[in-house]
Structure 1
C-alpha cells in the first residue's frame, strides 16, 4: 500500500478556480523554498491544577502552606498528543481529521512552533531540527478570522504588507505584493469591500478566510498551517477554499490543515490524511487508500458513504454494521489503535527515520525546551520597518478603523441629545441661582467622566486577539502599537465633547465670556482624556470586557459620590477616595473658572457668617466654592493622572505574552 510519495494534486474546476492576474508576482514572492516536514512520536502534556489546589496556590503562593496546615495538591497532567508520527511534503495537502478534542489544533500548533514546554518527540524540516530559519518560512492561519471589521480587503492586506515585509522593500513594492496576493487568492472582486463581522455586513465567510490566508501568504511561506479553515463555510465555499489551497500546494508549498467535517469533494483533494482519536493515530497515509486500509482490518461501511464521515465515525468509536444497526463501543477505538500500531506505525516510522536524519535533527526533549516561536520582529535588522514607520502605519490604520466606532450614529445621537437636554434644562439659568449652576457643572463632570471611560475600557480587550496575533508575527513593537493607539484616539475622543460643550454652554447661559468658554472647554477636554486613560488602564489590567465594564462602573460611581456635590462631609474611612477621584478635581476646576474663589459671589448674595447657618444658597457657596483646592493643584493632579493611567496601561500590556 503506497503511503508516501508524490501525486499530482487534483485539477481545479473552472467554476471554482480563483481568478488570476496576468501580472507576475514580485521578486520576493516569485520563488518558494520547498520544505518537507517529518514528525515522529510527538507527544504533548499539559499540567492541570485541581480546583482546590489551584486556588490555594493562587492565594498563598507556591511555597507558602495554607494556614490550616493543608498541602497544595500536586498538579495533574493531561496528555493531549500520544506519539503522533507522519510527514508532510511540498506540493501536497496533509489533512488532519478527528472529532473535537482529538488533538488536531495542538498538533498544528506544535508543527508551527507555537508550543512551549510539555512537548516531546521529534519534528524536523528538511532533515534539520526546527529553528528560527525554518519557522520563518512557516505561515499559521488560526481557526478564527482575527481582522479589523471596518477596513476593506485591500486596506487590510496593504497595511499588513507595510508592517510585515522587509524594510529593504519600498512602499510601492509592498503594495504590489499585497495586490499580487489579492489576485492570487481570487479576492479582486471584493477588494474594496469591508471585512465586516457579526454586526457589520462585509465579505462572505469564504472570502474572509482567504483574507486570513493572504495575511500569511504575504511573507511567501514554504509551509502553510491552517486550523479548520473550512469551519462555518457551506460545501461550495469550502470546496473553493480547498481549491485555492490546492493551487498554492502546486506551487511547491507544504500545506497542513485540520478539517472538521469535509464533504466528499473536499476529501478527494487531500493527498495525505492523518486520523486522530483522543490524541492517538488511527491512520496515516494517502487519502485514497484510507477506505481500503480500514476494510483490511475489519471495518468497512455498510453502504456507500463519504469517506470523511466514515473515518470520523470510527474516530468517535461508532461503527455501523448495516443501515439499521449502529455499534458505539470504546473497544472499537482500541482495536483501531492496535491495528495502526501493528500494521501502519512501523511503515510510517521507517519512512520518517533514518540514521543520518536522527543525528542531524536531535530531539525536542533533549534540547530542554521547544524552539521559541519565530518572530519576524525579534530583530529590527531582519527587515522590520523602523519605529517611526511602524508608528505612522499603525496610526493610519487606527484612524481608518476607529473613525466608524467613534462617530457611529448612536454615539453622536447620544451626545447631541444629552447636550440639548442639558441646555434646555438649564436654559439661561439665573446667575444668582448658584446651586442650579453647580448642578450643571457637576452633570458635565459626571457625563464626561463616565462616557469616555466606559467606551475606552473595551479598547484593549476587544483588540486582544488581533494584538496577540500580530505581535506573535513580529509586525510591530508594543510601544509602537500603544503610542499609535493613544495618539490616534485623542482627536476622535475630543470632537464630540467640543460639540457638546458648544451647545450646552451658550444655551445654559454660563459665564458669557469667550475666554471663560475656552478655559471650560480645555478643562473638560483634559478631563475627558484622563477618564479615557482610566478606562484604558482598567481594560488593559483586566482584559475582559464584561468584568472591566463592571469595575469601571463601580469606580466612577465612587468618584461621583465623592466628587463634592452630593456629599460634603465624607466619612473619614472613605475620604481618601475623594483625593483620587477624577470627578472631584474636574468639578473644582470648572467651579473656579466660573466663580473664581467664590468670595465675590458670597458678598453679592450677602452671605455673612450669621447667614450661612440658615440660608441654603450661602451654605452651598461656602461649602462648595469658598476656600477650596487651588486650580493649579487640580491641573497638576489631572496631568499626573493623565500620564499615570497610560503608563499603568502600557505596563499591563507588557505582561501579555504574544
Structure 2
C-alpha cells in the first residue's frame, strides 16, 4: 500500500494508492501501513497520544495497522483490513470508536480524554452534510451557537461570532437562504460544506476532523471564466483557517485530490507496505529525491512539478509496489540523510506534563458532554426547529388532514346514533367508540418515519455535544403535542356532539389525546430501535394491528383464549376503549341480553375499575413508552458515524 503525506504548520496529507487522502493541519507526520512498532511521542498542551497497549503488540505486528504522529501527538491504531483504512483511522483518532472496540490508549496533555471532552472540544465534519433543511444558513449557525457556547455568552456575542464565521466562510451572500434538501434545493453543495465547517468552528475546538470535505464537489478548471464553488475552494478555506486560527489542528480525509488541491500541501510522506519511503518537502524536492535515488523510474513530466506531482508520486510508488521493490525503496530512505534529519526532529520534542496548562486540565476534567443544561437544549430546539417546521405547510398538513378526514367519515356514518336508545343500536355506538379508539393508535405510523430519516442529523448533533437525549426527545414530543392538542379538541368535539354521546366530554377528549400521544411515542420507540425505515415499517403496523384484537371489542375479554388472554392487560387500546364504554354506558340503564347490561356483556368494568382509573392506566403506558424511547435513543447504536 502506498501513502502520501505532508507536514507543516498548515496542512498535511496522506494517501493510499487509490487516491484517498488524509490531511491534517499542525502535524509532524502521518503513516498508514502494516508491521508496526510502537513509537512514543513527547507531548505538550493540546497534544493527543493513541498508543497500542504492550499486551497487544505481538498481534499488532501480525496485522495491518496505522501509526500517526502529529505535531505534539502520536496515534497508533490496530486495523484488520485494508479496506477503508483512512476512514477507520479518522474514526479512531476522533474517538468515534471507543475503548470497548479498540485496544488503544488515548492521552491529551498526558491524560486520557473522556467522551465528554471529545464531544465538547473537538469538531467533526462528516462527508455527507447533515443540516436542518428548514433553517437558513444564519439560523443554522445561530442554532448551533446557542447550544455549543456557554450560557454566560450573551446573544449579541453569539451573533457577532456567527457574523464573523459567515464572513470567513464566504457565506454572507447566502446567509438568509434556506438550506433545503435533495428534492428542494436551497444552498449549493459547497456552501453546505462550508456551513458544516462553520458549525465545527463555533466553539473554538482544539481539533477539527473533516471526513472527505471535497466529496461531491467539482474541482477548479483554469479555463473556466466563472469557476464554481468547488473542492479547491473548500481546501483553500481550510488552509486559511490554519493560519488565522493558530491554536487549531485540522485533520481531514480527501478522495482523489486535484493538482490544485495537492499544491496546497508543503511536505509529503510516502509509504510502501507500511514503511516510509519518503518524508520531506513537496514539489521539486520530492521529485528530485526519487529521480536521484532511483534514476530508473519514469521522469516527471508536464508543465510545472506541482501540477502533476501527486499523480507522478502515486504512479512511481504504485509501480514499485507491484514490481516488488517496496523494501528497496524503504531501505534507501532509511539509509538517507533525510531520514536521519527527520529522526532528529522527531526525538527533539519537549515534555508534556510540565507544559499542560490549567485550562487544558480543566477541560479534560469535564463530565458532561453538553455545554448547556438539558432545559436550554430543549428551549433552543423548540425555538429553531419547531418554529421552522410550523412554517412549513407540508409538516402541518401531514399531521392534520388525515385526522380531519377520519372525523368527517365517522360523523357521516354515525350522525345522531348516540341519541337512539334502542338495544339494537348499542352495537353501532360501541363500534364507533372502538373506531374512535383505534384510529389514533394507528396514527403512530405517521410519526415514525421522521425520526428514522432524521437519524443522521441526531447522531451528528449528539456526537457534537449539542444537547442531551432527553432534550431531543422532549422537543420532538412538544412539537407534535402542540398540534395534537388543537386537532384533538376539534375532532373530539365534532364527533361527540354530532353523534350525540351522553358521557363527559372532558374524558372523551382526554382519551383521544392520550391515545394519540401514546401512538406517537410508540412510533418513536420503533423508529429508535429499528435499523432502518423498512424494518420499522414492518414492525410497527404489525404491533398496532395485534393490539386491535385485544381491546375487548373484536373478541370479548371472557372469550379470549386463556393462554393468551392475559395480553389485553398490555394493550393500551383496551384501557382507552373501556374508559369510553364506561363513560357512555356506565351511568344509564342499557339492558342488552336477558338480565345482562351492555357493559356486562363485554365483561366491563374489570375489577371495579372506574373510567378515570382506566384513563390513568393509559397515562402510565405513555410514561413507559417514553422511557423505552429514551433508552433506545440513548443506548441503541445504528452503525457508526
Residues 228 and 258, structure 1, Cα contact 8 Å, conserved in 2:
yes
Does the residue aligned with 2:251 lie in a helix, a strand or coil? strand
**Residue from 382, 387, 407 that aligns with 1:400:** 387
How many angstroms does 1:379 deviate by? Answer: 4.3
**Residue from 602, 606, 620 that aligns with 1:624:** 602
Distance in 1 separating the partners of 2:329 and 2:172: 48
**Residue from 518, 522, 542 that aligns with 1:554:** 542
How many angstroms does 1:524 deviate by? Answer: 0.5
Residues 269 and 278, structure 2, Cα contact 8 Å, conserved in 1:
yes
- Look up the match of 2:631: 651
- Look up the match of 2:144: 160
Q: How does 1:219-618 map to 2 (within 5 A)?
A: 219-221=203-205, 223-235=207-219, 236=228, 237-251=230-244, 252=246, 253-274=248-269, 284-289=279-284, 290-292=286-288, 297=294, 298-300=296-298, 304=302, 306-310=308-312, 317=318, 331-332=322-323, 335-336=325-326, 338-340=328-330, 342-343=332-333, 347=338, 350-351=341-342, 354-357=346-349, 360=352, 378-379=366-367, 384-403=371-390, 404=392, 407-429=395-417, 431=420, 432=422, 433-451=425-443, 453-458=444-449, 460-507=451-498, 509-511=499-501, 516-542=504-530, 544-568=532-556, 569-596=559-586, 600-602=589-591, 607-609=593-595
Q: How does 1:175-214 map to 2 (within 5 A)?
A: 175-214=159-198
How many angstroms does 1:138 deviate by? Answer: 4.2
Distance 1:188 1:129, change over 3 A: same
Does the residue aligned with 1:257 lie in a helix, a strand or coil? strand
Distance in 1 separating the partners of 2:186 and 2:290: 44
Residues 106 and 113, structure 2, Cα contact 8 Å, conserved in 1:
no
Distance in 1 separating the partners of 2:84 and 2:340: 21
Deviations 1:187-239 (A, max 9, x none): 11222222222344322111111111001111234543311001011224112
Distance in 1 separating the partners of 2:428 and 2:71: 77
How many angstroms does 1:520 deviate by? Answer: 1.3
How many angstroms does 1:157 deviate by? Answer: 0.8
Distance in 1 separating the partners of 2:173 and 2:137: 10
Scaled by the length of structure 1, the TM-score of the pair is: 0.72
Residues 124 and 200, structure 2, Cα contact 8 Å, conserved in 1:
yes
Distance 1:356 1:506, change over 3 A: same
- Look up the match of 2:89: 107
Residues 460 and 543, structure 1, Cα contact 8 Å, conserved in 2:
no
Residues 123 and 201, structure 2, Cα contact 8 Å, conserved in 1:
yes
Distance in 2 separating the partners of 1:497 and 1:278: 67
Distance in 1 separating the partners of 2:161 and 2:629: 35
Does the residue aligned with 1:197 lie in a helix, a strand or coil? coil
Deviations 1:119-143 (A, max 9, x none): 7899998xx6576599676433222
Distance 1:268 1:424, change over 3 A: same
Distance in 2 separating the partners of 1:490 and 1:579: 26
Residues 33 and 271, structure 2, Cα contact 8 Å, conserved in 1:
no
Deviations 1:238-281 (A, max 9, x none): 12212222221231354332210222222222334456778776
Distance in 2 separating the partners of 1:274 and 1:401: 48
Distance in 2 separating the partners of 1:122 and 1:633: 55
How many angstroms does 1:531 deviate by? Answer: 2.1
Does the residue aligned with 1:600 lie in a helix, a strand or coil? coil
Deviations 1:63-114 (A, max 9, x none): xxxxxxxxxxxx999945344556599xxxxxxxxx9935222333344454
Residues 81 and 280, structure 1, Cα contact 8 Å, conserved in 2:
no
Distance 1:410 1:462, change over 3 A: closer
Scaled by the length of structure 2, the TM-score of the pair is: 0.73
Residues 26 and 70, structure 2, Cα contact 8 Å, conserved in 1:
no
Distance in 2 separating the partners of 1:575 and 1:478: 36
Residues 43 and 120, structure 1, Cα contact 8 Å, conserved in 2:
no
Does the residue aligned with 1:245 lie in a helix, a strand or coil? helix
- Look up the match of 2:619: 639
Residues 259 and 309, structure 2, Cα contact 8 Å, conserved in 1:
yes
Residues 434 and 621, structure 1, Cα contact 8 Å, conserved in 2:
no
Residues 114 and 373, structure 1, Cα contact 8 Å, conserved in 2:
no
Does the residue aligned with 1:259 lie in a helix, a strand or coil? strand
Distance in 2 separating the partners of 1:374 and 1:459: 39
Distance in 2 separating the partners of 1:377 and 1:595: 63
Residues 179 and 186, structure 2, Cα contact 8 Å, conserved in 1:
yes
Residues 86 and 349, structure 1, Cα contact 8 Å, conserved in 2:
no
How many angstroms does 1:163 deviate by? Answer: 0.9
Distance in 1 separating the partners of 2:30 and 2:414: 76
Distance 1:559 1:44, change over 3 A: farther
Residues 129 and 193, structure 2, Cα contact 8 Å, conserved in 1:
yes
How many angstroms does 1:491 deviate by? Answer: 1.3
Distance in 2 separating the partners of 1:437 and 1:281: 82
Distance 1:174 1:143, change over 3 A: same
Residues 374 and 473, structure 1, Cα contact 8 Å, conserved in 2:
no
Which region of structure 1 is more displaced relative to structure 2, 430-439 or 293-302? Answer: 293-302
Distance 1:565 1:543, change over 3 A: same
Distance 1:415 1:244, change over 3 A: same
5+ residue gaps in structure 1?
10-33, 46-74, 90-98, 320-328, 363-371, 613-617
How many angstroms does 1:423 deviate by? Answer: 2.5
Distance in 1 separating the partners of 2:589 and 2:453: 50
Residues 563 and 584, structure 1, Cα contact 8 Å, conserved in 2:
yes
Distance 1:490 1:282, change over 3 A: farther
- Look up the match of 1:151: 135
